[in-house]
Amino acid sequence: MPKISDERRAQRREVILAAARACFERNGLHATKMDDIIRRSGLSAGAVYSYFGTKDELVLAALTSSMAELGIAFAPLFDPAKTLPPLEFVTELTATLRRFTKKDGVDRTRIAMHGWSEQQRNEGIRATMQAIYHGLRGQIQGVAERWRASGIISADAVDGDVASLIFSLVLGFVAQTAILGEVDPARHARALAELIAPKVDPRRP
Amino acid sequence: MPKISDERRAQRREVILAAARACFERNGLHATKMDDIIRRSGLSAGAVYSYFGTKDELVLAALTSSMAELGIAFAPLFDPAKTLPPLEFVTELTATLRRFTKKDGVDRTRIAMHGWSEQQRNEGIRATMQAIYHGLRGQIQGVAERWRASGIISADAVDGDVASLIFSLVLGFVAQTAILGEVDPARHARALAELIAPKVDPRRP
Amino acid sequence: MPKISDERRAQRREVILAAARACFERNGLHATKMDDIIRRSGLSAGAVYSYFGTKDELVLAALTSSMAELGIAFAPLFDPAKTLPPLEFVTELTATLRRFTKKDGVDRTRIAMHGWSEQQRNEGIRATMQAIYHGLRGQIQGVAERWRASGIISADAVDGDVASLIFSLVLGFVAQTAILGEVDPARHARALAELIAPKVDPRRP
Amino acid sequence: MPKISDERRAQRREVILAAARACFERNGLHATKMDDIIRRSGLSAGAVYSYFGTKDELVLAALTSSMAELGIAFAPLFDPAKTLPPLEFVTELTATLRRFTKKDGVDRTRIAMHGWSEQQRNEGIRATMQAIYHGLRGQIQGVAERWRASGIISADAVDGDVASLIFSLVLGFVAQTAILGEVDPARHARALAELIAPKVDPRRP
DNA sequence: GATGAATGAGTCTTCATTCAT
DNA sequence: AATGAATGAAGACTCATTCAT
């Protein structure tokens, strides 16, 4: 076959990546064998290896591509022009996550768990993933700054700490979903509100 | 050779488990080879296999034993006799986690990530782990009930949702620590307070 | 596309052969991949395969072409019209070898080693190479005959044995160069002279 | 199985090495597959790999062990107490080689060719083999020194050159045997004598 | 005629588990 | 009871060759 078009090449790469993501999601990074991905992609071993030189490359690509898509999904929420107030922000964060998670029949929540695990022992994965997660927390910190600037939260609040707290909430939402099953974004946020506003005790007139 | 005493047997079992936990923490569940554990335990392959018939058994035991210890560490916080208010409760939850994590030179935060990942693909692990995590969330729900009963939180609050929210906070704290490094329990809780009580700016009379 | 001219075809063939020789020299016959040769030749896989149907053909061609050139280089030394005496003959043989070895940036000494090795296991290569080496030894034997006929060496000498001895000297010169590095042709021959005429110490009248 | 005795371990190692030598001799270093060696050794893959961690290790061991044996076989010829005169020395060198070559049904002449080839491209092999060959040539140089000291060869002779010449003769003898088949040590040496002593022309009274 | 992407059998090596001693 | 050598079925990856375009 003569030179393949760039478009077609990108397409094929995506097919392989999709196969990899599906396999990784279902069976984890290590238990997934190259052969599983190869068979699911419908290509030959050689073809797959011409796009991704090693299994590790495929793992990294599957993990980062999933995260990249997440970044895009989150983008509107970080728009300085329309900063949401805390409770709505957290609600949108988790609701977006819930929607994003289901794409293409692959549950990215499960992939995330595999990524968090692999990150603990694989230098290359860790560096890349940390950069992405750091960026995400940074974006949240930006939002916190705006809250403080506009008096939505206390002037004494430490942006970094607020970002960290919200980030925990998001990561925890993902983890709890993966471990115990669906968590409702709306109820999650409402519970936060209830925890937040205890002063209104209905029993006290 | 003389029969080994039950005490000695339990002791040996613990040595193997400790070796397994250390290996799993450092290199993940799959990349850890039986030989790594065998060598670290200082026993022979045959000896190790006489305590744990397969690697999977060892994985399950390492994971559940880590969690069991966590349950013990958390116990005082769930004591109905001394129910802490929300912010202090969350602070103690994460602070306890922080202390517990470092035990015996094994970082249980990392083990948790491996467990969450493995849980996604291994039936046996999932069932056991879910039971444990479910129990934990249930305990938190008990605390929420008491808060509501004593008017610390709104009577309209849904205990399950509050428990779920706090559980996310805890899991997220663990995840964020594993992914991006240390998160300070006190600052984490303080940020929650700031997020919670924003409108009342103490500087504006 | 227009039919390619015979001349251009021969030219292309030589380009491929040169690439093959260079690769084989540097990395041996087996460790050299078709892709190495293809890339170095600057042609496409299909193009290379239209000139040489299999890697084995390429190996055979690279080996025989190297030897053929050697035969041409040696030709003048076998000219019955100007038969050199033994010592000068051996000197010229090795000196010619030394000059020939360096051609086109390819060290044929190294290729020779690869050829000698491959010859031990590859029928086709063996047959062809043996014919060439046999021919070479035969030429030397012709020289030996002339030496005997003209009284330069003993009438009792067995031409075949003399040829064999000189052939060993030549092969050994090549091997030693390849294994331990440069061997000086002149000193090599002088040492033969010293070994040959020891008893007559010129300093003792 | 409990700890194997050192003796038995050495024995097994030798079995594997013998299998490797046999395979390498017959089919070369690269065309010999680990599976060939494994099957011929009668052991399992795992067992073989517990003695030699990689194929390269096996190659190096097969090559060096062959050479080591050769060193032992040559030892008596280098004994300063009984230094042979040049012609006899060369005869003994090649005759020893001839005898040594056939040991255990493995033709070390062929292995030598494979070693000379591999040496050209494999750093590790080259270093080890060069050391061995250098040592051998050094021993020959020692003999040359003694010849010169005792007036057997000219006082002007350069020991290194003489050693180099004889070394070529030996390597050439091996190469010629491998390439064209048996070369008779006695006739080889006699031819050297005839080349050496041309002055005695029987036709001139 | 030319291209170079695709094929897939074949390679080396690993590692959970067993069992003879 | 304990040992640790042996097993052998995978698994990741390669590469000579083909053939659709």
- Alpha helices (H) along A32-119: 34-41, 45-51, 55-74, 86-101, 108-119
The helix/strand/coil state of A98 is helix
What are the tens digits of pLDDT across the range A94-107? 999 999 888 888 99
Q: What is the pLDDT of residue C205?
A: 36
> Measured between alpha carbons, how far apart are the two ends of chain B, in Å?
83
pLDDT: which is higher, D1 or B92: B92
Q: What is the pLDDT of residue B196?
A: 73
CB within 7 A of strand E (chain A, 4-43)? 4, 12, 43
Q: What is the pLDDT of residue A52?
A: 97
- What lies within 8 Å, CB to CB, of B151 at 6+ separation is A201, A203, A204
D172 burial (CB, 10 Å; 0-12 / 13-18 / 19+) is: buried
pTM (predicted TM-score): 0.91
What are the tens digits of pLDDT across the range D61-117? 999 999 988 889 999 999 999 999 999 999 999 999 999 888 888 899 999 999 999
Average pLDDT, chain D: 92
Three-state SS letters, C77-127: HHCHHHCCCHHHHHHHHHHHHHHHHCHHHCCHHHHHHHHHHHHCCCHHHHH
CA–CA distance, D52 with D23 (Å, rounded to integer): 16
Section B59-82 average pLDDT: 93
Closest to C31 (Cα-Cα) out of C100, C114, C116, C150: C114
Q: Which two tokens stand for residue B195?
A: 């997020």
Which residues of chain C fall short of a pLDDT of 70?
Answer: 1-4, 197-205
Q: Which amino acid, one-letter code, is at A190? A: R
- What lies within 8 Å, CB to CB, of B58 at 6+ separation is B16, B17, B20, B37, B52
Closest to C166 (Cα-Cα) out of A42, D195, A109: D195
CB within 7 A of strand E (chain B, 33-92)? 33-35, 45-46, 49, 53-56
B103: left (phi over 0), alpha (psi -120 to 50) or beta: beta
Q: What is the pLDDT of residue D201?
A: 41
Q: What is the pLDDT of residue A81?
A: 94
Checking if the pLDDT of B105 tops 90, the result is no
* DSSP 8-state assignment for residue D54: S
Q: What is the pLDDT of residue B81?
A: 93
If pLDDT is split at 50, 70 and 90, which confidence band does B24 have? Answer: very high
Closest nucleotide (CA of A56 to C1')? Answer: F12
The spacing between the Cα labelled CA in D102 and the C1' in E21, in angstroms, equals 38
Q: Which nucleotides of strand F lie within 7 A of protein CB? A: 1-21
Q: What is the pLDDT of residue B3?
A: 57
* DSSP 8-state assignment for residue D84: P
Q: What is the pLDDT of residue B1?
A: 44
CA C70 to chain centre: 5
Q: C167 with C136: CB under 8 angstroms? A: yes
Compute the residue count for chain B.
205
Checking if the pLDDT of B204 tops 70, the result is no
CA–CA distance, C53 with A181 (Å, rounded to integer): 60
What are the tens digits of pLDDT across the range B152-161? 998 889 999 9
- Pick from B120, B170, B202: which is nearest to A28 by CB? B120
Q: Which two tokens stand for residue A10?
A: 């990108």
pLDDT string in tens for chain D (205-residue length):
567 888 899 999 999 999 999 999 999 999 999 999 999 999 999 999 999 999 999 999 999 999 988 889 999 999 999 999 999 999 999 999 999 888 888 899 999 999 999 999 999 999 999 999 999 999 999 999 999 999 899 888 999 999 999 999 999 999 999 999 989 999 999 999 888 764 444 433 3
Section A14-27 average pLDDT: 97
If pLDDT is split at 50, 70 and 90, which confidence band does A48 have? Answer: very high
CB contact under 8 A, D121 and C162: no
SS3 content of chain D, % helix, strand, coil (to 5): 75, 0, 25
Q: What is the pLDDT of residue D203?
A: 39
Section B106-132 average pLDDT: 95
- Pick from D31, D166, D203: which is nearest to C155 by CB? D203
Residue appearing with tokens 């100007």: C82
The helix/strand/coil state of B41 is helix
Q: Give the number of A-B residue pairs with CB atoms closer than 8 Å.
A: 206
